[in-house]
Every structure is written in C-alpha cells, then in structure tokens.
Amino acid sequence: MNEIRLIEVKQDIHADNEALANELRQRLRKEQTFLLNLMSSPGAGKTTTILSTISALGDDLRVGVIEADIDSMVDAEKVAAQGISTIQLRTGGFCHLDASMVKRGLEGLDLDNLDAVIIENVGNLVCPAEFDTGAIKNAMILSVPEGDDKPLKYPLMFSVCDVLLVNKIDYLEFADFDLAALRQRALRLNPTLQIFEISAKTGAGIEAWADWFRREAGAFLSS
C-alpha cells in the first residue's frame, strides 16, 4: 500500500492569512486609518450599533464601513442611506472575512478622507474568530436574548476580542440573563476584555463605548 501524504491545508491558510494581515496593519499605520473588526451572531444588532456609534462620534472622526454578507446588500444600503461611505463585500458562502477580503474592501474606500473604518463581519460566533482581518482592534456584540452562557460555548470569540458590547440591555427585564455571570465567564477567558452594556436601539451606554473608540482611534492615529 502506498503511503498517504497528509497536508495540513487549514494551517497553511491561517499562516498565509496572518502574514497578509500583518502587512495590512503596517499599511493602515502608514495611511493613518484605524480599523475595527466588529463580530456577532446574526440579529445581535451590528448594523444598528454601527450607526449609533458613528452618530455618537459626531465630527470627531470620519468613519467608513465595510459590510460583509453571504449574499444580500440590506445592511450596506441601510448604512449608505445615512450618508456614510460604505463598501459591500459579498462572500458567496464564506462564513467569515479574512485579510485578503478586507484588503479589497479597503481599496474600494477613499482612505484619504477617512480616519477609521468599521468592518461588519459575517454574522457568526465561530469562523470570524479564527481569521485575522488585519484590524487594529476586535470587538464583538452579545445580545441579551442570546443568553449569558455564550462564553462557555464560543470561548475563542471572547478570547480574541478587545471589547465586548452587551447589546439590547433594554430587554433585560424580560430575559433570564445574568450580567454578573457573563462578566465572570468572559473575563476568565480574557482578563483585559473591555465590557460595555449598551442598547443600540435606545442609545443607552453608547457614549461610553464611543469614548473608547475615540480614544483608541486617537491613540493609533497619533502614534
């Protein structure tokens, strides 16, 4: 019997992507563009949070958006309707973005007239956590209706993020959701994780989150 050769394709893919992501970060530093990768499950409120965040930032930062979806352009149309510079990435079945996809998205934006770009990654708590997009910072949204047990089920997502936005806190009185338990579980995985409780719908907590964004972008742009 001939010996079967095993090729670790996933390992090669990740290595190539990591190299490209690092190149992209160097380019972003040269071009003075702060890039945030925002991840969550479908329906957690990414688009509404992005719109609320940009509104709260006001004239402090010029922000563009890269929208990723498997097929539709619904979210991109919603963002563009607010006068925000927007690019749609249609992944055609891929459940995540990688650095090469983000690079193409950035090439479609006028970075000379933007200080920051927010990526709305594909709705998924698994695949997006595995792929470095080249972003300067990673953030995730967990909505109250999803439950407080998600750090136990999707530990990698909570581990790779700099920020956790607990969205839809206006729903807390109707849900069996333990904020203290969520914090304990998330911080056990990632002790430096910044946690903000928000309602993108009502605006509660958005200012504190926008302040974090403003500080981090400002520090990057002045470095």
Query: Domains, the chain, ranges and CATH?
Result: 9-221 (3.40.50.300)
List CB contacts of 82: < 8 A, sequence separation 6 or more.
51, 54
Kindly tell me if the per-residue pLDDT of 20 is higher than 70: yes
What is the reported pLDDT for 96?
Answer: 86
Confidence of residue 9 (pLDDT cuts 50, 70, 90): very low
What is the reported pLDDT for 173?
Answer: 93
Mean pLDDT of 154-166: 98
Kindly tell me if the per-residue pLDDT of 183 is higher than 50: yes
What is the reported pLDDT for 117?
Answer: 98
The burial of 179, by beta-carbon neighbours within 10 Å (0-12 exposed, 13-18 middle, 19 or more buried), is given as: middle
What is the reported pLDDT for 162?
Answer: 98
What are the φ/ψ torsions at residue 40 (nearest 5 degrees)?
180, 175
Kindly tell me if the per-residue pLDDT of 7 is higher than 50: no
Confidence of residue 15 (pLDDT cuts 50, 70, 90): confident
What are the φ/ψ torsions at residue 126 (nearest 5 degrees)?
-110, -75
Please state the pTM of the whole predicted model.
0.92
Core vs surface per residue 95-129: b (16+ CB within 10 A) or e: bbbbbbbbbebbeebebeebbbbbbbbbbbbebbb
Kindly tell me if the per-residue pLDDT of 8 is higher than 60: no
- 144: DSSP letter: G
